[in-house]
């Protein structure tokens, strides 16, 4: 693998509140070997002059759906799998072009899709996947229409049903056997599912604790879909590490989450995009009505999480054609948070969430060489991450260039 020297960079390292000015970064064998404020002397490296642009870690989206090829998820299971994977390929390639070098899939991606990226068959971000998410019958992962009369032993494109601690354990063991990096469960109602109100509490204490126990045995963790404060509180009290959405969280619950050291991954852009465009792309009326309950709370949830000191990850949760809205999440968060807080969420905080702190999401010796170069200062203007990667002039993943336009 080629040795690369990025010379005379401004660097956002994933942590620091200010750019590091005029640094050199040496990449060797797919990892960052050296970061120096003095010129690095090397005879063998290919030199890439950054010329005042900003070098920063590749972005991480911690709530993504590679195979969610339709805004109306109730139609997804009637779509041929080969067509869903073809859509996934496009979504992955577009995400990489925006500067996302890693995604954490929240239901549907599997070992085969992750390996297709790893082997270079698809030019996309590396994938951390959970396989099919777990839902109780009639929960958020149950996408059968209410008139569907089939028995409850059902498995779909992004979710599966598992009722009771025994079935939950069996399903988790099977997903882990198939290579899952983490496990997702549904513990509150959701917008995309047809039969469960948002306020509905899902999975019993015994079922949630069974999920946490099984993942702990494999040294991994549970991510839990949860909108309401009650669902969030009980899930973290039972050991859930990663709360997804957290839209209706209150101050007291946020303090509990912070005290437990859990993460929350808000997904503002999916709520905004579904409210604005969902009906036009086939989102059912019942789902549009649920989005109406969430749309005004999303921004406030960020304020509450920040005040409590919760570790906030970066996710988007987009569906179908709305994947194109991915980078808009930066701008929505910037209405409440500083650019630094937003960028940390999409880099070093998400790396910590994935259990890859110091390896992903940072520009530091020993880290994987996931790097992008942007034309401008992202700590002052998150617009440099908009317009489908227009201002991203270099994309490197694991030491390999996917874009080089300097």
Cβ distance 114 to 127 under 8 Å?
yes
- Angle at 112 (CA atoms; ends 96, 82), nearest 5 degrees: 85
Does domain 4-58+361-404 fall under CATH 3.40.50.300? My reply is: no
Work out the pLDDT band at 43, boundaries 50, 70, 90.
confident
DSSP class per residue in 110-179: -HHHHHHHHTTSS-S-EEE---SEEE-TTSTT--S-TT--S-S--B-SSEEE--HHHHHHHHHHHHHHTT
pLDDT value of position 406 = 85
Which CATH number fits the domain 59-353, given the four candidates 1.10.3720.10, 3.40.50.720, 3.40.50.970, 3.20.20.140? Answer: 3.20.20.140
Find the mean pLDDT for residues 169-193. Answer: 97
- Predicted local confidence at residue 147, as pLDDT: 66
3-state secondary structure of 30: coil
In this prediction, residue 146 has a pLDDT band, given cuts at 50, 70 and 90, of: confident
Share of the chain above pLDDT 90, in %: 93
pLDDT (tens digit per residue) in 231-288: 999 999 999 999 999 999 999 999 999 999 999 999 999 999 999 999 999 999 999 9
Count other C-beta atoms under 10 Å from residue 215's C-beta: 24
Domain segments of the chain as ranges = 4-58+361-404, 59-353
Decide if 4-58+361-404 and 59-353 have a common fold.
Answer: no
Per-residue model confidence (pLDDT) at position 191: 94
pLDDT digits over 69-99, tens only?
999 999 999 999 999 999 999 999 999 999 9
What is the reported pLDDT for 26? 98
| Angle at CA of residue 126, ends 190 and 61, nearest 5° | 40
Q: Is the pLDDT of residue 382 over 70?
A: yes
Q: What is the DSSP string of 83-100?
A: HHHHHHHHHHHHHHHTTE
Q: At what angle do helices 81-97 and 111-118 cross, to 10 degrees?
A: 40
**For residue 145, what pLDDT is reported?**
77
**Residue 269: exposure state from Cβ atoms within 10 A (0-12, 13-18, ≥19):** buried
Helix, strand or coil for residue 325? helix
Q: What integer is the mean pLDDT of 207-215?
A: 98
Question: What residues contact residue 258 under an 8 Å CB cut-off, 6+ apart?
Answer: 308, 309, 310, 311
Q: What angle do CA 238, 130, 363 make, to 5 degrees?
A: 95
Q: Which residues contact 302 (CB under 8 A, 6 or more apart)?
A: 266, 268, 312, 333, 336, 337
């Amino acid at each position: 693998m080629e040795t690369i020297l990025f010379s005379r960079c401004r660097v956002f390292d994933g942590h620091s509140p200010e750019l590091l000015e005029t640094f050199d970064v040496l990449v060797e064998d797919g990892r960052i070997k050296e970061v120096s404020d003095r010129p690095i002397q090397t005879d063998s490296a290919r030199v890439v002059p950054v010329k005042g642009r900003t070098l920063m870690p590749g972005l991480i989206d911690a709530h993504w759906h590679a195979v969610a090829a339709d805004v109306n998820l109730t139609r997804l299971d009637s779509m041929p799998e080969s067509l869903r994977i073809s859509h996934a390929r496009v979504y992955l390639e577009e995400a990489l072009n925006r500067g996302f070098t890693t995604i954490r899939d929240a239901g549907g991606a599997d070992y085969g899709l992750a390996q297709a990226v790893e082997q270079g068959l698809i030019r996309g971000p590396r994938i951390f996947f959970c396989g099919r998410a777990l839902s109780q019958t009639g929960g958020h992962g149950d996408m059968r229409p209410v008139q569907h009369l089939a028995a409850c032993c059902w498995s779909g494109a992004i979710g599966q049903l598992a009722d009771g601690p025994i079935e939950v354990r069996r399903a988790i063991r099977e997903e882990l056997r198939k290579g899952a990096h983490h496990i997702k469960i549904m513990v509150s109602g959701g917008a995309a599912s047809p039969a469960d109100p948002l306020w509905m509490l899902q999975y019993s204490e015994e079922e949630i604790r069974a999920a946490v126990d099984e993942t702990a045995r494999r040294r991994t963790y549970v991510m839990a879909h949860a909108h309401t404060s009650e669902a969030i509180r009980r899930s973290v009290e039972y050991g859930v590490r990663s709360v997804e959405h957290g839209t209706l969280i209150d101050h007291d619950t946020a303090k509990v989450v912070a005290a437990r050291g859990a993460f929350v991954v808000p997904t503002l852009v999916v709520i905004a995009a579904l409210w604005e465009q969902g009906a036009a792309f086939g989102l059912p009326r019942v789902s549009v009505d649920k989005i109406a309950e969430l749309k005004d709370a999303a921004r406030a949830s960020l304020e509450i999480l920040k005040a409590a000191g919760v570790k906030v990850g970066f996710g988007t949760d987009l569906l179908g054609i709305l994947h194109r809205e991915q980078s808009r999440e930066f701008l929505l968060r910037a209405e409440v948070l500083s650019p630094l807080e937003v960028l940390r969420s999409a880099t070093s905080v998400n790396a910590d969430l994935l259990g890859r702190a110091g390896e992903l999401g940072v520009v530091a010796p020993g880290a994987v060489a996931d790097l992008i170069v942007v034309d401008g200062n992202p700590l002052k203007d998150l617009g440099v991450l908009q317009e489908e990667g227009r201002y991203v002039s270099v994309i490197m993943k694991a030491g390999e260039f996917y874009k080089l336009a300097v």
